[in-house]
Structure 1
């Protein structure tokens, strides 16, 4: 923020002051996770107050601090719109029988042994085609969650698998917003950025696939699992018209429009109206029932406890918890960024870096620290791109390594943080807490580690022609 323009006589924070603010922030959040695990919004409120007090000590008045929050929230408005639309998409797919049909036919051919590896690949492909991990988690992810209990696969493994696959596609898709933003922030060509990510992400994908396959081989079919599958299919067949030619139309519309690069808003609204048509004509569901579900869906009664809860998910009201958390997180990030606390901390680290592998490691680590503090990836990507770009030029490292590192430190790790916008959404959509699924979202935390190892081995560490410095 331009302080002169705002008319605020404020000073830049000293590095020691900025470190104190950030450490205090993390301490507050850590204590809140222990003592107030179900009131994360209240914890973030205290965190906003903590950071705002220190911004005031620098000379920013209340109006300027409010403006920092407003600017941050304005950048997140597109994400908030997606939040609300995904809530309605989920509810509409429940009422149209789309989710029920996907679960029914998925149970017919997906065995426990192959559940994790096949689900991982399918989620990756859908996210790669549509460019959105959120849309994948909110649709295909729900299907796998619904099938998990029937085939005897632990829910935390399933949620981790879904998020791993969805994040891979989101990271590698040329129509993903974070992919384009990372390339833009580092000032590199989009496809150069994607080709750079292939060096670290494809090996990670293969490793994760093998792990999911190995783990899946331990989930053997048995009489109990077979009985669960039959009971679930019977409950679905007795309560829904399941013809795939009709019930899958909303997902087809969503997929095709996303693939044709229509905006997410257009794709999702079109899917909702298609689902409404299918629900009212095919199931049938009344307009009043469908409209109520768009606001607040409720558990159904089809004779199967797991399905009763699953098919009652979605609606605008269901996204309120996530939306409030995101608003507070963005307000917090706005003050941290606007008052210069994060920039002061990051620049202190950058000034000490002399080796290329160290620079990649610090970039990924500080990108992760940024998402911890800012809670939302867009601002974190832009901030770190600005801070580290000259350091990469100084060491003659191609900036496509910078753009790749931004994705590995932010896009991949955002879903592993309970108070991040992504983490809050995944929890709300899948019904599994971040702390429960994070250890099993293998790609999300293995990819950054492999990227650091590769940097020290010199793999994918692209250089500018000219001066070649010691890595």
Structure 2
């Protein structure tokens, strides 16, 4: 479509249809996870194909084309590849005994009472080092699931801990795409944004650790006496080491798959044919997730073409009258964009130019604006059940992503800390901002 997009509130209704389906099904069944996610999104996509942009009438073929272009976005296809490779790696690590060996090693080394906060801190460290929540979730979800099963803990709760730690690094890391997008959009240095960001979210991380210290981790004395086959831990060490070295997530997953396959062949866990079958099995676990990602991309394409995103941006910024109002409007904008696109980087890139314009108009510090863009987008990204993070963790465990959301305590806490930051105008900077190099 070559014509300018006219803002249109009805353009947002496809994603609202999905939310309505989830809520209605949850109320009727007393189970918020009852609605099959892929089915819900397919219904929302079908509803989206019934709509039209303002003052235009598109053919079904044209709307399908828009949907396909959105679903075939390069970022969506990359996400599909990540999901499939993550499934292959997970299946291999189970079949060669890598997951069980890593769990036993962790339980032997970490004090029983500290196992859950230690898992959160480890996830924070890895995600901060590698700059991607998806890579962290891929590497540590299998370990988290193994810990949960060994200790008799709630699998959704432990995955909520993994997702929480992953979002810590997604928000703060110097190499995170959200950090880069936020700082570039506001023209500030990475270090300046980090200083503004860490002062807001560090209390949330500390509170999360304290909460986890009060969760009863049960007893696992029988595991402490098990011998650990260190060779089987090697694939996880390799994938974590490659991630910390800053390698591309595809390369990281490839190294993990290769190392797990070679380990399994070396220790006789499977034959070459069984190895290939294991890889196929893991990828099949991720097929629904891949289809969900493509469907979401298509729905976002339709909402953009129908003017839903444009209307949202205009509605959230038209009544700004003060610096605090500008910051709150920017936070609301990037939050709603993340809810509608299920992609925090896209949300930041979309909201960034408006944030910069409002910041200049109301003299808001761009370092704070970059921080707020990242905090609020990562907060909702770590809670939405149709976001890549929860979808991936849920697919690995074979559970509904809606079951994980209530345990994503850190994303919830940084949302509260972000609102307090706006309310009190903290942190403040005494030195004027310098342009990023």
TM-score per shorter chain, which class?
Answer: 0.7 to 0.9
Equivalent of 1:319, from 282, 286, 291? 286
Aligned to 1:132: 132
Taking structure 1 as reference, are residues 463 and 39 closer, same or farther at Cα in structure 2, changes over 3 Å only? farther
Aligned to 1:311: none
CA shift for structure 1 position 413:
1.6
**Superposition map of 1:25-36 within 5 A:** 25-35=15-25
Once the two structures are superposed, residues 181-224 of structure 1 have per-residue CA deviations (whole angstroms, 9 ceiling, x without a partner) of 333333433333223211211121112112212x23x4454xxx
Select between 286-295 and 188-197 the one with higher mean Cα deviation: 188-197
Whole-Å separation in 2 of the counterparts to 1:379 and 1:190? 19
> Does the CA contact (< 8 Å) of 2:45 and 2:298 recur in 1?
yes
**Superposition map of 1:106-255 within 5 A:** 106-213=106-213, 215-216=214-215, 218-219=216-217, 221=219, 225-227=220-222, 229=223, 242-244=228-230, 246-255=231-240
> Does the CA contact (< 8 Å) of 1:44 and 1:328 recur in 2?
yes
CA shift for structure 1 position 369:
1.8
CA shift for structure 1 position 33:
4.4
Aligned to 1:105: 105
Equivalent of 2:271, from 286, 292, 304? 286
CA shift for structure 1 position 322:
0.8
Once the two structures are superposed, residues 63-106 of structure 1 have per-residue CA deviations (whole angstroms, 9 ceiling, x without a partner) of 65445434433132222221111112212222333212101212
1:69 correspondence with 2:54: no
Select between 170-179 and 323-332 the one with higher mean Cα deviation: 170-179
1:442 correspondence with 2:415: no
Aligned to 2:31: none
TM-score (norm 1): 0.82
CA shift for structure 1 position 163:
1.2
Greater RCO structure (CA 8 Å; 6+ sep): 2
Structure 2 unmatched ranges of 5 or more: 27-33
> Does the CA contact (< 8 Å) of 1:415 and 1:426 recur in 2?
no
Whole-Å separation in 2 of the counterparts to 1:182 and 1:78? 21
* 1:459 alignment partner, SS class: coil
Aligned residues: 423
Aligned to 1:366: 333
CA shift for structure 1 position 282:
1.8
Whole-Å separation in 2 of the counterparts to 1:357 and 1:275? 52
> Does the CA contact (< 8 Å) of 1:159 and 1:432 recur in 2?
no
Whole-Å separation in 2 of the counterparts to 1:111 and 1:123? 17
Whole-Å separation in 1 of the counterparts to 2:218 and 2:299? 47
Taking structure 1 as reference, are residues 61 and 23 closer, same or farther at Cα in structure 2, changes over 3 Å only? closer
CA shift for structure 1 position 397:
1.3
Aligned to 2:421: 454
Aligned to 1:328: 295
* 2:51 alignment partner, SS class: helix
Aligned to 1:42: 39
1:19 correspondence with 2:3: no
Aligned to 1:308: none
> Does the CA contact (< 8 Å) of 1:397 and 1:463 recur in 2?
no
> Does the CA contact (< 8 Å) of 1:111 and 1:151 recur in 2?
no
TM-score (norm 2): 0.88
Select between 43-52 and 75-84 the one with higher mean Cα deviation: 43-52
Whole-Å separation in 2 of the counterparts to 1:430 and 1:39? 15
Structure 1 unmatched ranges of 5 or more: 297-314, 467-471
Whole-Å separation in 2 of the counterparts to 1:148 and 1:279? 24
Segments of 4+ in structure 1 off by > 6 A? none
Whole-Å separation in 1 of the counterparts to 2:307 and 2:76? 19
Once the two structures are superposed, residues 228-276 of structure 1 have per-residue CA deviations (whole angstroms, 9 ceiling, x without a partner) of x47xx76xx6xxxx431x2232223222322222211112112211111
Q: Supply the RMSD in Å over aligned alpha carbons.
A: 2.6
* 2:52 alignment partner, SS class: helix
